[in-house]
Structure 1
Amino acid sequence: MKNKSKLNKTLLINQNNCNFTDNSATYGGAVVFSDVGNVTNCNFTDNSATYGGAVVFSDVGNVTNCNFTNNNADYGGAIYIFSGSVENCNFTNNSARYGGAVCFYDVGNVTNCNFTNNSARYGGAVCFYDVGNVTNCNFTDNEATYYGGAIWMYSGNVENCNFTDIMRLLVLQFTSTVHTPLKLFPILVF
């Protein structure tokens, strides 16, 4: 194993065209990236963990053209990611305490994804602890026990998204752009 602090290089790991079913761990039920990584054209079903039911990215991560079904965790039912992007993915029946499908610790982007029947206490489908951008996504039958039936974020933008049958306790409606208030409380988007 190379000591990356001495080499001062970033290790890039890729997972392509894989299927992961019935795996479990504390971090990343199926896959853990301790450095920068990409996941493309993969399927994740019935995986579980404390962090990232299917995948954990400890650094920047990119997920493209993947399907996540019936995964669960405390943080990020399918994906727990430090920062990065999730594009052209489908999330169905995933659950967590924070981010039923995806939980971003830092800045993140979600584009062209479908979220169906995901659930969490905060962010039924997606949770951003920092700045988030969600564009061209569909949210159907997602639910949060407390806040953000579809999305819970500290600040960011939500553009060109469709929301159908979202269950939430507190209702806040934003049509296209979410603006940060006094930063006393997280922005809650359904």
Structure 2
Amino acid sequence: EMEFVFNATLTIDLSYGTNYVSKCIFNNNIAKGRGGGAIYGFTHLNINSCTFKSNQANEHGGAVFANKNLVLKNSKFTSNKAPKNGGAVYFRCHEQSGSYVNKTWIPKMKYYSANITNCAFSKNTAKKGGAIYGFLNVASDKKRLKVNKCNFTANKASSSGRDVLGGTCSNCIYNYIKLTSKNRTVKKSAKKLTLTVKLTKGKALLKNKKIKFRFRGKNYYAKTNSKGIAKVIIKKSVLKKLKAGKKYAVKISYSKYSIKRTVKVTK
């Protein structure tokens, strides 16, 4: 196991064949060039069981910048950042070259792939792709970056792609607070209206949490049960004052998180 801890630039410039990086720790490294706060790879990379924390790049790939095939597994990325793309990892899926034939330049495109598996990404930040960014030649290139069985927590992207942009994800866990509720339809003559919401964090159900429902200028409160569900009842006396054919807004809030839904009233 090796540990790389610096307060200046540490860039591993790997140039031949496939390079293997295993059981290493990269903390507080800075790349002042194009990118790759800890690792900048010109060739194929295989990274396994490594930890990347508080690394940063001047442009892309706060921790890792991969120009060719990338295999990344069983690794942790925490608090890495890049001002442009890929807070933790930046992957470029293609390489453009060519040659002159009878004084005419013939372009050639070579493609690469990235497989990121069983990794944890938390508190990484970038403009695009808070944790992972795949640079595409065309939209269909996103299939060349595959993210599988990874865990994402509190990553941020100021523009787009909170966790992953430019790739496909499968069997991943997103540890974020989520309020889930549906728009409702109710008859004006109904005896009551039940509003419900489900509160989760990743796959976890959050119980005994206070939820606020705001409807028609009034606040209603309820706590989530063992299934993460909170319910409030809107009485008939409120419903009969509503107009048939009209939609009314409902705001559902927990802590700093909120969603908006509607209630449609029918005759």
Work out whether the TM-score is over 0.5: yes
**Structure 2 match to 1:62:** 71
**Structure 2 match to 1:84:** 114
Query: Aligned partners of 2:87 and 2:116: how far apart in 1?
Result: 14
The one-letter code sitting in structure 2 at the alignment partner of 1:113 is C
The structure with the greater share of residues assigned to strand is 2
Selected match of 2:150 from 92, 113, 124: 113
Shift of 1:87: 0.3
What TM-score results when the alignment is normalised by the length of structure 1? 0.67
**Structure 2 match to 1:43:** 51
Same amino acid, percent of matched pairs = 34
Gaps of 5+ in 1: 5-9, 143-161, 168-190
1:102 and 2:132 correspond: yes
Shift of 1:75: 0.9
**Structure 2 match to 1:22:** 28
TM-superposition CA deviations, 1:77-127 (whole Å, max 9, x none)? 000012411100000000001100000114210000000000102100001
**Structure 1 match to 2:160:** 122
SS of alignment partner, residue 96 of structure 1: strand
**Structure 2 match to 1:34:** 42
Shift of 1:163: 7.6
* Greater RCO, 1 or 2 (C-alpha within 8 Å, sep 6+): 1
Shift of 1:60: 1.2
SS of alignment partner, residue 162 of structure 2: coil
TM-superposition CA deviations, 1:14-69 (whole Å, max 9, x none)? 11000000001131000111011111000000000011000010111111000000
The alignment yields a C-alpha RMSD, in angstroms, of: 2.4
Verify the 8 A CA contact 1:90 1:115 in the aligned structure 2: yes
Query: Aligned partners of 1:78 and 1:141: how far apart in 2?
Result: 18
Gaps of 5+ in 2: 1-14, 93-112, 137-143, 178-201, 205-253, 258-267
TM-superposition CA deviations, 1:118-146 (whole Å, max 9, x none)? 01021000010xxx32110011239xxxx
SS of alignment partner, residue 97 of structure 1: strand
User: Structure 1 runs of 4+ off > 2 angstroms?
Assistant: 162-165
